[in-house]
Structure 1
């Protein structure tokens, strides 16, 4: 990953952390809202800061983020209010299972190649060189 991309990702992560903090502070202000002028001002200031932070996320300063695709599945997962770490864990587990399945298929095909090669060589000795060549090329 290029330095620009890493910097853009770090900047976005910092912006998201700031946004989360703004939402927490906004929640506290709304919860403690008393209707006084000072509480109205505090609420307006925090809302404006939150809107400004959201604007930074919508239009990042660096176009390097355009090079980092975010899968639609992840976005939908987050929109549903679910943890993206759980998505990652499930994805890794599914990938691991798929890899084990494919590794098993590859081992079975290798065994089949060996057994079939031996049988062909024993039944048709004139094809032994061809069988060995095929084994070498498919190893």
Structure 2
């Protein structure tokens, strides 16, 4: 039985381990069946199994684990949740790369626009510089004028 001060998840885990142990002992007893003494031991083991299952059914509702419905559907479809995790990570990496590319493109657009505005309206250079720097950008040097 799990200690009183443990979390509900730890208690359920301990109860599941006890149930697995009961089932393992029953398998061993069935394989090495030796008559009436084994039959009595199996009865005792089955009673222990039932008690552990009752305890588990009483403790399990107190455990609140949120599993995304996508993972549940994945497992119900006889698929490995580790594959779901790997695919999710790959998708996130692709999205991050795409967002990084967009960010760099917008930054380049900002710099090009600022440079063209400064070249076209030199009086606004200070305002454009302040605006670009306030948004985290940098003002590129003016284009070298062709002579």
TM-score by length of 2: 0.61
Q: CA deviation at 1:81?
A: 3.5
Q: Does residue 82 of the first structure (1) align with residue 97 of the second (2)?
A: no
Give the corresponding residue for 1:97: 94
1:41 paired with 2:43, answer yes
1:8–1:88 distance in 2 versus 1, CA, 3 Å: farther
The answer for the alignment partner of 1:130 in structure 2 is 127
Counterpart Cα distance in 1 of 2:26 and 2:131: 69
Q: SS at the partner of 1:41?
A: helix
The equivalent of 1:25 in structure 2 is 24
Aligned length: 128
- Tell me the alpha carbon deviations over residues 9-64 of structure 1, each in whole angstroms, 9 at most, x when there is no partner: 54455455555x359638847x85x8x8548626733651562364155323xxxx
**TM-score, structure 1 length as denominator?**
0.64
Measure the CA separation in 1 of the matches of 2:89 and 2:59.
28
Q: Deviations over 1:112-134 (max 9, x none)?
A: 11111101110111222222122
Alpha-carbon separation, structure 1, partners of 2:81 and 2:55: 21
Structure 2 residue ranges without an equivalent (≥5): 1-5, 137-147
Contact 1:26/1:47 (CA < 8 Å) preserved in 2? no
* 1:125/1:70 CA distance change after superposition, 3 Å: same
CA contact (8 A) 2:74 2:84 kept: yes
Q: Please identify the structure whose Cα radius of gyration is greater.
A: 2
Q: Choose between structure 1 and 2 for higher RCO, CA contacts under 8 A separated by at least 6 residues.
A: 1
Q: Which has the higher helix share?
A: 1
Gaps of 5+ in 1: 1-5
